[in-house]
Amino acid sequence: MKLFLLSDGCFTLDKSFLVYTKYQGQIYEAALKPLLITTDKENILVDTGIGQLPEKYEKFHVVKREQDQALKAQLEKHGLTPEDVSIVINTHLHFDHCGNNHLFHRARFYVQANELQYAYDPDRFQKAAYIRDFFNIKNEYTTIQGKYRVTDNVILVPTPGHSPGHQSVFIKMAERNYVYCGDAAPLHENLEERNIPGVLYRADQALKSIDMLRSIENAVYIYSHDNEQLTLI
């Protein structure tokens, strides 16, 4: 099994969206970092980036992406096309994590059942985070409830708070536990300082999720939007 941190460029947002009650008014270039997991049997992609935003969203977020940072180009660097991806795991269905779902026609998609349900009918305060055209694709989602083992070494674990059905991905390799945090901890300081993200469904759940992630032994954390962490080295 091998892990590769990919790119879908970055997008601008107010940094307070990533850290609760901090950085208001500071524009941050948030990295978009799908994770590719290759095994003898499967090519697994965790999250699919932001893709092409609708025009009304472009007024609030600028997507910056070089040609070789597009997700298709990133897969090509590893000798793959979207058709070669057999499994897609969405940590959640906010627009910056499922924007390229439509590319993966042959993949099985895994998402928490309550996340998919909520995405179709979110509360008003979360409505802007979901773009229906991004997740309402032809593929049928495999909806799960709670902890789920995708393969022997790839495990999905609920980490709600940022959204009701958010999940993180644990990858066991030798003596290390790689943890794709998703937006339970979009930046390193969310874990290191126990600062919950600024976009929230429930703050109490978000803090419990952070504390659970912090408790993992021999962990290598992958932060979904931290632009200072662009490789796994």
- 31 Cβ neighbours under 8 A, 6+ residues apart: 7, 10, 224, 225, 226, 227, 229, 230
Instruction: Report pLDDT digits (tens) over 183-231.
Output: 999 999 999 999 999 999 999 999 999 999 999 999 999 999 999 999 8
Q: How many C-beta neighbours within 10 Å does residue 13 have?
A: 20
Q: Kindly report, residue by residue over 159-195, the tens digit of the pLDDT.
A: 999 999 999 999 999 889 999 999 999 999 999 999 9
pLDDT at 233 over 90: no
**Which domains, from first to last, does the chain contain?**
2-223 (3.60.15.10)
pTM: 0.96
By C-alpha distance, which of 163, 104, 160, 103 is closest to 128?
A: 163
In whole angstroms, give the CA distance from residue 111 to residue 160.
13
Nearest 5°: phi and psi at 47? 65, 155
Q: Tokens for 178, please give them.
A: 């790689």
